[in-house]
Structure 1
Amino acid sequence: MSGAGSVGNDVDIDLGALFASLRRNGLFILGGAAVLAALALLFCLLATPEYQAETRILIETRESIFTRPNGETAADRPVIDQEGVKSQVEVLTSSDLLKKVGARLNLADTDEFGKPSLLSRGLIALGLKKDPSQIAGDENMLREMRKHLQVYNVPDSRVIVVQFSSEDPSLAAKASNAIADEYIALQRAAKLQSTDDATGWLEPEIADLSKRVKDAEAKVANYRASSDLLVGQNDSTLATQQLSETSSELSRVRANRAASEAKAASIRRALETGAALDTLPDIVSSGLMQRLRERQIQLNAQIADLSTSLLDGHPRIKALRSQLADLDQQIRGEGRKILESLENEASVARMRETELTRELNGKKAQAARAGDEEVELRALEREATAQRELLQTYLTRYREAASRTDRNYLPVDARVFSRAETPAEPYFPKTWPIVSATFVAGLLLLSIFVLLRELFSGRAMRPVDNDPQAPANEIQMPAGREAAYASSAAALADEKASPVAENPARPAPSAETIQQIYDSYTTIGEDVPENPHSVHTVASRLIELGVSRGLVVSPEGDDGSAASVHLTRELADRKLRSILIDMTGTGAISRAMLDGKTAAGITDLLASEKQFTEVIHSDHYSDAHVMPLGLADPERAMRAVDRLPIILDALEAAYDIVIVECGPSTADHVRRLTSSATQVILSVVDPDDNAVALSALDLDENGFEDVLILTDADTILPTPPSGEGHPGPHAAL
């Protein structure tokens, strides 16, 4: 369709006529837009200018690190989130704050905020608006202030913008700054009130806590004394400390006993075996034993010296040997004394060990009793510690709050970082933007008005033409196919000045449809070709017969197949939905319709490699469609040749006529593709060609008698005599 969309069953929108109306009404559109722009300019000149001032507030924590309690860092302070910032926006627009600003600037006495305007007074006189004087309090002033006030938070930041507009530029700046200052003062007052409340609550709480801490510590001391849980060294109870000392002493005594017993055993073993005693550490360490050992060495030395000059029986040597024997007896006697001493030490150690063991058991029982009592003591100590720490915290907070109140140091978590200046230019009205926007809007609205008027008048409507581009994915029989055949036949009969043959299977076309088809035919050419086998004549014959499928046999190959292309285009020019299926061996005719391009076609569809939407293409030179030979393997496609009749039936449901170019096919091949409304066409280039004669004979012998002859040449083939009916193809040739 050439229109934008269908508005009915028989009309469509003519976009050309629709936009032509804009050209015809150009002066009206431009003039109307200019008038609207002039009215906008007049409004801007007469309107009272308003000025807008802007103050910016930053919400941040302003507490100094040097005044923060307990050395808190910035990371320890709570961060103000977006909800907190939005809450501050609501505070800035609160009634109490605006009332204070209004009273500070005496806005109730101004004409802009306290007295109604001329228009308002007129509405009040007519009873359409309430008299502000009857409104209680400052409600009227607050309502007017809110109309001129705009407070918002800058996205993704903690900046709050306060904008105030007024007819007086200085008042706009003063009001904007006053709102910000009043907000800061309000926040400081809120902090002061919070600090005063805190000190008022902490003072009696500290007094009560002091008493509770004193009582808790007294309970700890009394319980410790009554339970004998006095604390010794290392913050441990005396029972525990004594148990530790007794245990250590017992371990020492046991070690000494074991050492004495071991020493005594070694000396006893040496005495019993007669071994030398001077090898034992305890014997060697004895002073007497050391002197005896020295004397023994001297005697041995004298005997050795005298033995060089005296015999063993000499009295001198005998005397020395006797002294040496007495000396050995003394050494062994001293060894036995040392043994008795060590045994006495071991005996004393065993008695000491027994006593310490008995004492240790007593200490253990006492320590066990002290452990049970310490549980209660620790509970009392924890309570006293908790009360003491809480008291210390309260005292710190109280001193901090009291010092801030006394020194008047209460930093507000907000500051004004951009104060409003007196605006030099009004923000309303913006003359040129308003005039320009009004002019553009006038052009748009008046253009829409002209287009709607043209549509509703019906001048932009035209009759709907049959759409030659039938969507391939909606293959179904068009509702008006039979009517199109009947109307085409009626138009052809009207051209020949002969009555239309009655066909009881089809309804008679209306006079309007016949006139439309006749008009479309006259645009092609008023003279009917003299050749009865030309493309024009064969197309008319197909329409007259109501054919839905045309099978073209071209025994001369691609030369004869060219006529089927012309026939398909002729049918498309007559407003019929037509499609050409290329089933030749070369695919040349479909490439001619697609500017030499190869594309998916009938073989791809038979091989189930493509869908209908992918194999149907538009002819580049007409409204006809074409289904090329395709790109799939022909042998594989021919295995599914039984699907070809089904495909042709589906195409007949979507198109008015389907032309199948069969190339130099035989009658047996053609018979497989025939249906109830099929016409066989023999395309001829040279009537004297032997292949043409053989093909005509084959068709005639196999029962195809009513074959139409198609030729693109000017040669007029012989026609049968009048009244003899339709000849067979062979007889015609």
Structure 2
Amino acid sequence: MSDVRSTAGDLDVDLGKLFASLARNWLRILVVALVVAALAFMFASMAERHYRAETRLLIETRESIFTRPAPADSDRPILDEEGVASQVEVIGSTDILKKVASQLDLAKLPEFDPSAEMSTISRFLVMTGLKADPSEIPAEERVLKAFREKLNVYRVDRSRVIVIEFSSTDPKLAAAVPNAMADTYLAASREAKLASNLDATDWLEPEIADLDKRVKDAEARVADFRSQSDLLIGQNNAVLATQQLAELSSELSRVRAGRASSEATAESMRKVLQQGGSIDALPEVLSSPLIQRLRERQVQLKADIADLSTTLLGNHPRIRALNSQLADLDVQIRREAQNVLRSVETQAKTAQLRETQITAELNRLKAESARAGEQEVELRALEREAAAQRQLLETYMTRYREAASRQDRNYLPPDARVFSRAVVPSEPYFPKMVPIVGAAFVASLLLMAVGTLLRELFSGRAMRPAPGARFEPVVQVAMPLAAQTAQDDDMADMMSEPGTGGSGTETEPTVEVVPLSLVAPAGKVPVQTLGEIGVEHAAEKLIASGASRAIFVSPEGDEAAATAVLVARAVADSGLRVLLMDLTASGAASKPMLDSSRYPGITNLLTAQAQFTDVIHTDYYSECHIMPVGTADPARAMRAADRLPIILESLARAYDIVVVECGPSDADDIRRLVGEATEVLLSLLEPEDEVVAAAENLRAGGYHDVILVTPIGSDLPTRPVPGRSVA
């Protein structure tokens, strides 16, 4: 087997030598940094001094509850974020800048006229056409351009404060400009309010005159309609016909109730009198004064008869006279009851006649009320129109008087105030000597250090060979010591032939004859070799080939399964994520990694008794992960063997390399395990016939690049790695 490695992979950076170059060149780095700092100090000392001052405005409503007009709640200025941002734009507008420039006479200052004092370099650039001639721009535009470059108007975050900031070489001018801008802005805001107030009064005056005429016309129409119609107003501002209709309706209800009561009383009295019943139960009879007196006389006669019956017989003339009087009283009482009945019937007839009259009058009033209702609707419409016109007139007159009074008194405060005026600065903001010199010194130090490190790195002096690096291809052939001497002469002849690396121009792989005693332990030298490689070489080959799966076949049984464990650990030690799946019947691959076979594994996953997180464990001795055989029924797990490709595909996405130990298997057994970027490896302890047969079977099955790996010379760890535990 051959192994070819690139030179780039065989070199490492020697950090000690790399950073030692800084110590060797410290004087040059320091001198350059000091020179740069001195130049920065010189330029900063020669630079022109600039001063900065600022004025702060607070945007707020200046009206109070005593001076604010009544309808002004809906006309208040918007003081939200957009409203304050709009005021920032107003302050920096061209009109205010022109007023301030004219007020302070900025056009006469050389600072605001680039064409007044041009340097020699600027004049040369203008003459060569590399720079525009400032004199070709109007003087006012030049002043405004320079003004805007020195001005900064901004809003303080999360507030209604606006800052007017101005910089100049003259400290007095730096303070005068923002104060003048603030005063000009306040005056412009007041003038804008005065203009708006004047426009309002000019518009309200003719509107009030027109509304006054319309109110008079509307009220006249109401009076004319009321005089022409028969709408007589009664109590509660109701039409008389409607009021009478309501009263007659109440009267009709009362008469109907009285008639019904009289008819019912007459009917009950008639039945009692016809049937000869007692009239004492009739309230109307008992309420008659005559009947009451007759009843009292009747009671007196009954009392006298009772007194005389104690001493006289029933045929006594006196008793008989009293009985005769008593009978006459009964006749008189019944006759009087008949009179009461006729009186009640007369009342019922009278109530019926009254009902008829009221009904007729009610029908007449209904027609009259309907006619009055139509007229009332029209009258209400005229009155509403007059009331609306009158209310609008009163509103306009109120606003007109308020606007006129505020204009006469000249009271229109702007919605802003200056709470911090600019003062003449005593120290320039540019140049700052210490920060400039310090920044130049630190930057030059960093640049010189980086340049020194890069020069040392690119020169190759900071490079060193990587551990185990090979700078030429090497072919290792393991052979018995008995055959080594016979092979030396042939190898020497082959190396001396042209084209083999002896005297030819082309470089050929150097064949290194390695005694088998260096590969296998002493006393266990196999009779022949099959071109097998060691564990480390196999791990390097898997990493270099970019394989995502490594299928191990161990025809010699459980002892050869240690090869897969050693290769998986070697790959894991290189920093890759590795998982070893144990598909042997006895768990030979997972036992040395977990020291037990009681953990759930692939059989539990196939039988749906566990999930991925339950069957993946950590090797006690390395960073490798292990999926053991498991504790589920193997026969039941084999019925779900079709899920193995899906499981392997999922694991290949989660790990860099998935190592599968299949035990003594053939080409057909491992076919479902093979996928993209898969390497097939054959574990070999001794080159016996069964190993040769297994290799031939794999090659016949289509796996021509079978890699033979031997664990000879590698030892399994006997102590767990500190801090390692089962996942």
Fold similarity call, TM over 0.5? yes
Q: Following TM superposition, by how much is the alpha carbon of 1:309 offset from its aligned partner in structure 2, in angstroms?
A: 2.3
> Which residue is 1:36 aligned to?
36
Distance across 1 between alignment mates of 2:250 and 2:182: 78
Q: Following TM superposition, by how much is the alpha carbon of 1:354 offset from its aligned partner in structure 2, in angstroms?
A: 0.9
Residue 103 in 1 paired to residue 110 in 2? no
Distance across 2 between alignment mates of 1:91 and 1:130: 30
> Which residue is 2:689 aligned to?
667
> Which residue is 1:113 aligned to?
112
Q: Aligned pair in 2 of structure 1 residues 38, 272: CA closer, same or farther (>3 Å)?
A: same
**For residue 171 of structure 2, what is the amino acid of its counterpart?**
P
Q: Check whether the contact 2:552–2:663 (CA below 8 A) recurs between aligned residues.
A: no
> Which residue is 2:175 aligned to?
173
Distance across 1 between alignment mates of 2:506 and 2:319: 179
Trace 1:201-240 onto structure 2 (pairs within 5 A): 201-240=203-242
Distance across 2 between alignment mates of 1:502 and 1:357: 149
Distance across 1 between alignment mates of 2:202 and 2:505: 106
> Which residue is 2:370 aligned to?
368
Match of 2:189 among 187, 190, 198: 187
Q: Aligned pair in 2 of structure 1 residues 361, 410: CA closer, same or farther (>3 Å)?
A: same
Match of 1:345 among 344, 347, 354: 347
> Which residue is 1:80 aligned to?
79
> Which residue is 1:263 aligned to?
265
Q: Check whether the contact 2:110–2:117 (CA below 8 A) recurs between aligned residues.
A: no
Counterpart secondary structure, 1:312: coil
Q: Aligned pair in 2 of structure 1 residues 438, 252: CA closer, same or farther (>3 Å)?
A: same
**For residue 420 of structure 1, what is the amino acid of its counterpart?**
A
Q: Aligned pair in 2 of structure 1 residues 667, 496: CA closer, same or farther (>3 Å)?
A: closer
Distance across 2 between alignment mates of 1:354 and 1:194: 73
Match of 1:601 among 576, 580, 586: 580
Q: 1:533-584, CA deviations, whole angstroms, 9 ceiling, x for partnerless residues? A: 433999xxxxxx9x8x627xxxxxxxxxxxx458769x99xx9999997955
Residue 393 in 1 paired to residue 395 in 2? yes
Distance across 1 between alignment mates of 2:64 and 2:169: 42
> Which residue is 1:145 aligned to?
147
Greater shift in the superposed pair: 90-99 or 628-637: 628-637
**For residue 90 of structure 2, what is the amino acid of its counterpart?**
V
> Which residue is 1:251 aligned to?
253
Counterpart secondary structure, 1:61: coil
Aligned residues: 621
Q: Aligned pair in 2 of structure 1 residues 319, 188: CA closer, same or farther (>3 Å)?
A: same
Q: 1:160-183, CA deviations, whole angstroms, 9 ceiling, x for partnerless residues? A: 111111223232222222222222
Distance across 1 between alignment mates of 2:247 and 2:469: 117
> Which residue is 1:550 aligned to?
532
**For residue 519 of structure 2, what is the amino acid of its counterpart?**
V
Q: Aligned pair in 2 of structure 1 residues 580, 629: CA closer, same or farther (>3 Å)?
A: farther
Q: Following TM superposition, by how much is the alpha carbon of 1:345 offset from its aligned partner in structure 2, in angstroms?
A: 1.6
Distance across 2 between alignment mates of 1:208 and 1:488: 120
Q: Check whether the contact 2:566–2:711 (CA below 8 A) recurs between aligned residues.
A: no
Q: Aligned pair in 2 of structure 1 residues 95, 350: CA closer, same or farther (>3 Å)?
A: same
Q: Check whether the contact 1:253–1:349 (CA below 8 A) recurs between aligned residues.
A: yes
Q: 1:485-511, CA deviations, whole angstroms, 9 ceiling, x for partnerless residues? A: 67999xx9999643249999x999985
Q: Following TM superposition, by how much is the alpha carbon of 1:339 offset from its aligned partner in structure 2, in angstroms?
A: 1.9
Percent of counterpart pairs with the same letter?
A: 47
Distance across 1 between alignment mates of 2:624 and 2:223: 111
> Which residue is 2:313 aligned to?
311
Distance across 1 between alignment mates of 2:12 and 2:325: 158
Counterpart secondary structure, 1:585: helix
Q: Aligned pair in 2 of structure 1 residues 118, 333: CA closer, same or farther (>3 Å)?
A: same
Distance across 1 between alignment mates of 2:276 and 2:29: 148
> Which residue is 2:326 aligned to?
324
Q: Following TM superposition, by how much is the alpha carbon of 1:152 offset from its aligned partner in structure 2, in angstroms?
A: 0.9
Distance across 2 between alignment mates of 1:595 and 1:464: 21
Contiguous gaps of at least 5 residues in structure 1: 1-5, 470-479, 522-527, 539-544, 552-563, 621-625, 685-709, 713-733
Q: Aligned pair in 2 of structure 1 residues 265, 308: CA closer, same or farther (>3 Å)?
A: same
Q: Following TM superposition, by how much is the alpha carbon of 1:20 offset from its aligned partner in structure 2, in angstroms?
A: 7.0
Match of 1:334 among 333, 336, 340: 336
> Which residue is 1:3 aligned to?
none
Q: Check whether the contact 1:603–1:631 (CA below 8 A) recurs between aligned residues.
A: yes
> Which residue is 2:651 aligned to?
none
**For residue 684 of structure 2, what is the amino acid of its counterpart?**
C
Q: Aligned pair in 2 of structure 1 residues 511, 386: CA closer, same or farther (>3 Å)?
A: farther
Q: Check whether the contact 2:10–2:465 (CA below 8 A) recurs between aligned residues.
A: yes
Q: Aligned pair in 2 of structure 1 residues 565, 132: CA closer, same or farther (>3 Å)?
A: closer
Greater shift in the superposed pair: 28-37 or 244-253: 28-37
Q: Following TM superposition, by how much is the alpha carbon of 1:344 offset from its aligned partner in structure 2, in angstroms?
A: 1.6
Q: 1:602-638, CA deviations, whole angstroms, 9 ceiling, x for partnerless residues? A: 637996999xxx9999x99xxxxx9999744597864
CA RMSD of aligned residues (A): 5.3
Counterpart secondary structure, 1:195: helix
Q: Following TM superposition, by how much is the alpha carbon of 1:308 offset from its aligned partner in structure 2, in angstroms?
A: 2.2
Match of 2:426 among 409, 424, 427: 424
Counterpart secondary structure, 1:164: strand
Q: Aligned pair in 2 of structure 1 residues 502, 600: CA closer, same or farther (>3 Å)?
A: farther
Distance across 1 between alignment mates of 2:498 and 2:371: 128
Q: Following TM superposition, by how much is the alpha carbon of 1:651 offset from its aligned partner in structure 2, in angstroms?
A: 11
Contiguous gaps of at least 5 residues in structure 2: 1-5, 479-486, 523-528, 590-601, 606-611, 638-660, 716-727
Distance across 1 between alignment mates of 2:124 and 2:711: 95
Counterpart secondary structure, 1:55: strand
Q: Aligned pair in 2 of structure 1 residues 582, 437: CA closer, same or farther (>3 Å)?
A: farther
Counterpart secondary structure, 2:277: coil
Q: Following TM superposition, by how much is the alpha carbon of 1:388 offset from its aligned partner in structure 2, in angstroms?
A: 3.1
> Which residue is 1:90 aligned to?
89
Match of 1:585 among 559, 568, 576: 559
Distance across 2 between alignment mates of 1:408 and 1:711: 104
Distance across 2 between alignment mates of 1:646 and 1:615: 26
> Which residue is 1:705 aligned to?
none
Counterpart secondary structure, 2:58: strand
**For residue 424 of structure 2, what is the amino acid of its counterpart?**
T
**For residue 600 of structure 1, what is the amino acid of its counterpart?**
L
Q: 1:349-379, CA deviations, whole angstroms, 9 ceiling, x for partnerless residues? A: 1111111112222222333344444444444
Q: Aligned pair in 2 of structure 1 residues 592, 223: CA closer, same or farther (>3 Å)?
A: same
Distance across 2 between alignment mates of 1:255 and 1:25: 129
> Which residue is 1:196 aligned to?
198
